[in-house]
Structures are given as structure tokens and as C-alpha cells.
Amino acid sequence: MMLSAVKLESHYIIIAGTSSNTGAVSKVVEVCGVGFHSSFRSLVVVVCTTDDAGVHVRVFLETSEKIKKQVVVIGQDLDLLVLPTALTPDYMDILMLKEGKGKVKDRFYSSKDLQNSNLVIECKKSILFLHAISGCDTTSGFYGKGKLQAVQLFNHSKYLKDIPEMFNNSK
């Protein structure tokens, strides 16, 4: 995995994967200048490609832990939304920018907001299991249903509640 770092005043941009994603970096720098600059003294921006998203998640969690700076992750991969939601400690907040395609606009997510959402609270210990069995970042869905319906089915089934514990504690 290639990592390159660029320092812009008080902002650090870490590009994981390819360093050719200047459009995404420019987008975040623009947003940082307007929205984040007053809130954060320093900001780490991680631009991820679709390959090895799990490795990227580990890298930016460890980076944020070491340098004690806000981290923003940019990418298309659903893993970049699910894994930080499941793995980010309560005292950290990882921001994620999901780039829009076509008419779909860019959207920012916060790991802390997602962790505190009703949907995730109900299945917090099961989110990695649900992500894995519903096809990770594929769009095929779960038995012809979408990911959201898979989570809702899980939340309402007393028979499925014990399965994630075996998944999470496999040794």
C-alpha cells in the first residue's frame, strides 16, 4: 500500500492507494477551508481506493490515535463507512466523505453519529457480521433484499441474535 502525505498549512492529507486522486483531495481542501477550518486546528484526510479498504481503515485509525488529529476518509467503498462505524473507539470521531456519482451528491458521515443512530445501536455488536453476510460492499443485496432490510430482519429475529458472537470471537 502506498501512502503519500501532503501538508497544507495546518491540514495533513494522507493519500492511501494512488496519489492521482487530486479531485477528491481538492474537494476536501475546499470543504476544509470553509467548513472545518474553524472547528479543527488540524485535519488528516485519507483518500482510499477500493482495494484493501480494511487495511486503509486500520491505517487511519492508528494514524488518528498517534497524531491526535481529526481524520476525514474519502472513498466509494462501503467498507469505508461500515468498518469505522464498527471499529472506531467512542472517544474518536472519523469523518467519511462518500463521493457522489452522477446526480448523487457528495455526503459526509461521522462515525460517532452513525454509532449513535438507532439502527446501529440495535446491532452494534453485530455490524461486522451483518456486513459480511450481506455481501460486504457488493450491491447484490441479501437474498434479494437490500442491506438495510437485512439489518432490520436481524434486529427483529430472536433466533439470529447469538450468531454474531461466534463470528466476532472466532479463534
* pLDDT grade for 108, boundaries at 50, 70 and 90: confident
Q: What is the pTM of this model?
A: 0.59
**pLDDT, tens digit, for every residue of 129-155?**
777 777 665 554 556 666 677 777 777
**pLDDT, tens digit, for every residue of 1-52?**
333 444 444 444 554 444 444 555 555 555 544 334 334 445 556 555 556 6
Ordered domains of the chain (ranges, CATH): 2-116 (3.40.50), 123-168 (no CATH)
For residues 91 and 70, is the Cβ–Cβ distance under 8 A?
no
Cell representation of residue 147: 442491506
Average pLDDT in the 69-95 region? 76
**What are 12's strand-pairing partners?**
7, 44
